[in-house]
Amino acid sequence: MYHNILIPIAFDAERDISAPLKLAELLGTPGGKVTLLHVMEHVPSYAISYMPTDYLIAARQALQDELDAMAAKLPDATGVVIEGHSGRSILEWAETNEPDLIIIASHRPGVQDLLLGSTAAQVVRHARCAVHVVR
């Protein structure tokens, strides 16, 4: 059983978010903590000038609202939105906050993942705690 669980959340259409949430309920201890983490990728500087000035603020708030709604379904869960590169930011957050388990969803790997690597693969290779990959 785990006391501090991190669940990185990607809002991609092909990702099943329900499986990691169910697994956290099964593996978490009563009174344990669950953090739902979403990483907002940086918008390139050439693209930001074409967006409304409050776009990033509104997008961040919408993501936070969605995470809060998901967190409300789990005991002792919170939602956190950070900015950065997905893999590196998840690992940095984990190093600072010391979860004892990361539950991360992954898609079926393809050829491009062999060349570029996926976020889940990066987390599995470099996390300092247990990692459970859900497909």
- pTM here? 0.91
Helix or strand run (H / E) with residue 115: helix 111-116
Q: Is residue 128 over pLDDT 70?
A: yes
Position of tokens 């259409």?
13
pLDDT tens sequence across 33-82:
999 999 999 888 888 888 888 989 999 999 999 999 999 999 999 999 99
Number of Cβ within a 10 Å radius of residue 82: 13
Those residues with Cβ within 8 angstroms of residue 60's Cβ, 6 or more apart along the chain or in another chain: 40, 81
Q: Looking at the DSSP assignment, which residues form a beta bridge with residue 36?
A: 7, 79
Instruction: Confirm if 9 and 17 have CB atoms less than 8 A apart.
Output: yes
Q: Angle at the Cα of 15 (from 13 to 17), degrees rounded to 5?
A: 115
pLDDT tens sequence across 111-120:
555 544 589 9
For the chain, which domains are there? 2-134 (3.40.50.620)
pLDDT tens sequence across 84-115:
999 999 999 999 999 999 999 987 666 555 54
Determine whether 115 is exposed, middle or buried from the number of CB atoms within 10 Å of its CB (0-12, 13-18, 19+).
Answer: exposed
